[in-house]
């Protein structure tokens, strides 16, 4: 059959990412990956060397795409508050459009058994964190922001988004609700952005 010219290598990556997200790294077997991707088991080691090789490849792929998005914002000639609002919008969109992967990343961050992966995720996150840090610190220095605990504010911004992704039932009490449903996701996304922008505006710029 000549009709199906699919890239087995990519099929393995896609299947593995899906399974790792759903059932975790240890909870996913190479046989499951093979079956889900339609590839032979040996193909996994043929292309990636090992199960962990697949995992590392997935993480590297994603993290690479992570880095090159938000940097431009900080160079715009706009106020610190506008920068922060843009970052929030971009951050919420990116995470909410990749909820499964974001869950997996946080799961990996809470484990101590793959230190190299932990450090890799930590470093990737640190870039975003430092960007936000510079924006808020800049705002404080030019007097447009109140003096606040910058790192805690960052934890609040990132934590809020993560919390919505991992425990969406906290936000939407209605039971028939699905973050995978595009319509539901759009609603949550807009609410999250509106909330975080409002919160930061009030907290950072209210004179007191």
Partner DNA sequence: GGAAATTAATCAATCGTTTGATTAATTTTG
Partner DNA sequence: CAAAATTAATCAAACGATTGATTAATTTCC
List of residues contacting a copy of itself (CB under 8 A): 22-24, 26-27, 103-104, 106-107, 109-113, 122, 125-126, 129, 148-149, 151-156, 158-164, 166-167, 169-173, 191-192, 194-195, 198-199, 202-203, 206, 208
What lies within 8 Å, CB to CB, of 29 at 6+ separation is none
- CA-based R_g, the chain, Å: 20
Please say whether the beta carbons of 193 and 92 come within 8 A: yes
Q: Which is nearer to a copy of itself, 173 or 176 (CB)?
A: 173
Strands (E) across 58-173 are located at none
Query: Using CB under 7 A, which of 22, 23, 42, 181 touches DNA?
Result: 42
Query: Using CB under 7 A, which of 10, 23, 40, 144 touches DNA?
Result: 40
Binding status of residue 79 toward DNA by CB under 7 A: no
The rounded distance, in Å, linking the Cα atoms of 91 and 68 is: 12
Q: Which is nearer to a copy of itself, 9 or 93 (CB)?
A: 93
CB of 11 vs DNA, minimal distance in Å: 9
* Of 102, 113, 124, 106, residue with least CA distance to 179: 102
Question: What residue 2 binds from a copy of itself, DNA, none (CB within 5 to 8 A, per partner kind)?
Answer: DNA
User: Would you state the structure tokens that stand for residue 15, as one six-digit string?
Assistant: 């299947």
Query: Using CB under 7 A, which of 22, 23, 46, 203 touches DNA?
Result: 46
Q: Which is nearer to DNA, 7 or 149 (CB)?
A: 7
CB of 18 vs DNA, minimal distance in Å: 15
What are the Cα distances from residue 72, in Å, to 53, 63, 75?
32, 17, 6
Q: Which is nearer to a copy of itself, 21 or 44 (CB)?
A: 21
Q: What are phi and psi of 173, to 5 degrees?
A: -75, -25
User: Would you state the structure tokens that stand for residue 7, as one six-digit string?
Assistant: 């890239």
Query: Using CB under 7 A, which of 14, 24, 30, 172 touches DNA?
Result: 30
Residues comprising the chain, all counted = 208
Binding residues (CB under 7 A) for DNA: these are 2, 8-9, 28-32, 39-46, 49-52
């Amino acid at each position: 059959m000549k009709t199906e010219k699919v890239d087995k290598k990519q099929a393995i990556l896609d299947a593995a990412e899906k399974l790792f997200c759903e059932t975790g790294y240890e909870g996913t077997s190479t046989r499951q990956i093979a079956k889900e991707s339609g590839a032979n088991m040996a193909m996994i080691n043929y292309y990636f060397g090992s199960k962990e090789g697949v995992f590392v490849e997935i993480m590297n792929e994603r993290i690479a795409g992570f880095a090159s998005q938000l940097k431009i914002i900080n160079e715009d000639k706009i106020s610190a508050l506008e920068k922060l609002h843009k970052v929030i919008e971009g951050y919420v969109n990116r995470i909410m459009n990749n909820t499964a992967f974001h869950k997996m990343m946080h799961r990996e961050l809470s484990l101590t058994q793959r230190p190299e992966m932990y450090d890799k995720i930590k470093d990737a996150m640190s870039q975003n964190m430092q960007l936000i840090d510079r924006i808020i610190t800049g705002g404080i220095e030019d007097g447009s922001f109140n003096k606040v605990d910058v790192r805690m504010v960052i934890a609040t911004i990132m934590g809020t988004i993560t919390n919505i992704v991992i425990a969406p039932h906290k936000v939407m009490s209605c039971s028939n609700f699905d973050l995978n449903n595009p319509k539901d996701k759009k609603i949550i996304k807009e609410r999250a952005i509106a909330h975080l922008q409002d919160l930061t505006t009030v907290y950072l710029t209210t004179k007191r």
